[in-house]
Structure 1
């Protein structure tokens, strides 16, 4: 069965760059998936303050902002369609208007109808960060974080493994990627926290090899590096083009408390990272 990938493209207050659409098509093409892109445009409530209307013409400013966002969304959707046609993959596009406070919720609801969400992350783009957090912790589906520049495909997947529930969930969600991998490195960080199973990496690698996958185990130390940055650096050093890890954190009415590894990835994404919560 062909996989269905979902690409949310919020357009306000900060729209995504063209690279997000292009990279999503490249990933969908690599894995033979259908891509469904949704531009989420702002529905800005009117301002009833008479003074603001007189001095600033706020209603016109709102209309201009909404129109500009719609145009940007249509540009991104057109780019998805054009790149998908070049790549020979099926791509569907749509657009929707949503209140600013509901953009993340809209992305979550649509992500639940797909196998995987593709989330572009750009330095300094708070809109992209907000959507990514919402989808990772609210959609109930795995999410693949995409940096601005994709590494050359190597077929090498690194799996961050500590034997926890979220790591196991990420491993299961990454199965389609693991089955296509030419090599899998199971990476366990041994100087970040106490592990229940000291042989966790080798146990998982043996299980993957038993399933017919080419896997090896690697225990690493990251020293003083932050866990998110350290895991990504190790994956890159190994030559991996994808890092799989559990998304640590919880939410209370959109107030996110992130684990250190998750925060490090969202704040400074260096290669594609599959996060699953």
Structure 2
């Protein structure tokens, strides 16, 4: 299935817009409709940390600040899509969690969600901090664009798949297929040992006219370090990986490879669960 409906979630930093630029290029390349979205309700991360007895006047000022941020975000979205010539197939939505549900529910209606990732951004909200959870809860792939990612050139030609042969990695690989350029070179990268049936996967990709190979490397540092070092050395412009396979509880307590990758990634990362 091709990409025809792309969601770009506001990721907390109104000055950078790398995620939006990436989403715009994808929409142009795939002739897709682009929807921008941000949460209503003021500065959400502040509201969660404020004491209940805070004076109403201060809460009102915070809400006013939040509305100003929302207005600026919407304007930036509309200006950027207009400059790209996408005004006729784009929209901006102010997501109200009380009526529209959480971002993960909203994301289910789209082929792909794109999220800029800027650790420590002053307005960063939950779905920017934990995009892997959006992949888990929405059932849809999420493409995370780090702050230092190279501007895309409308095609994806060199893809590294973090390949362990498990369900989430398989789901991510299938979800990434619409992003592949016809001349793309795909590497199934495994760490430590080659998963069984890898050759079968290569045969299936070949039947889809995807050029692919498999490579197994020894772990050097953390799994995240190993994946990203290899992706950089091969010139990958996209890393594809499954969101965490273990429970959300253990993910919250000890983290995982997906969390570690997002913390240090400098190439776009597509995740699915």
Which TM-score bucket, shorter chain as reference? 0.7 to 0.9
Please point out which of 166, 184, 187 is paired with 1:182.
Answer: 184
Is the partner of 1:186 in helix, strand or coil?
Answer: strand
1:123 and 2:119 aligned: yes
1:18 and 2:20 aligned: no
5+ residue gaps in structure 1?
53-57
Which TM-score applies when normalising by structure 1? Answer: 0.80
RMSD: 3.0
1:29–1:220 Cα change, 3 Å: farther
- Report Cα offsets for 1:79-128 as digits up to 9, x if no partner: 222222222332110113447xx99x611111011111111111224525
Kindly state the Cα deviation for residue 255 of structure 1 after the two structures are TM-superposed: 7.5
Kindly state the Cα deviation for residue 38 of structure 1 after the two structures are TM-superposed: 1.2
Please say which structure displays the higher CA radius of gyration: 1
Is the partner of 2:20 in helix, strand or coil?
Answer: helix
- Report Cα offsets for 1:39-97 as digits up to 9, x if no partner: 20226599774xx5xxxxx2122112122122222222222222222223321101134
Does structure 1 retain, via aligned residues, the 8 Å contact 2:194–2:216? Answer: no
Aligned to 2:10: 9
Is the partner of 2:40 in helix, strand or coil?
Answer: strand
1:67–1:74 Cα change, 3 Å: same
Aligned to 2:247: 250
Does structure 1 retain, via aligned residues, the 8 Å contact 2:3–2:178? Answer: no
Aligned to 1:263: 259
5+ residue gaps in structure 2?
none
Cα distance in 2, alignment partners of residues 131 and 206 from structure 1 = 34
Aligned to 2:224: 228
- Report Cα offsets for 1:230-260 as digits up to 9, x if no partner: 21221121111111111114325x9735763
Is the partner of 1:5 in helix, strand or coil?
Answer: strand
Kindly state the Cα deviation for residue 269 of structure 1 after the two structures are TM-superposed: 2.3
1:243–1:47 Cα change, 3 Å: closer
After TM superposition, the runs of 4+ consecutive aligned structure 1 residues lying more than 6 A away are 45-48
1:62 and 2:59 aligned: yes
Which TM-score applies when normalising by structure 2? Answer: 0.81
Kindly state the Cα deviation for residue 182 of structure 1 after the two structures are TM-superposed: 2.2
Aligned to 1:72: 69
Cα distance in 2, alignment partners of residues 184 and 255 from structure 1 = 28
Aligned to 1:31: 30
Does structure 2 retain, via aligned residues, the 8 Å contact 1:18–1:79? Answer: no
1:255–1:232 Cα change, 3 Å: closer
Cα distance in 2, alignment partners of residues 218 and 120 from structure 1 = 29
1:231–1:113 Cα change, 3 Å: same
Please point out which of 201, 210, 221 is paired with 1:213.
Answer: 210
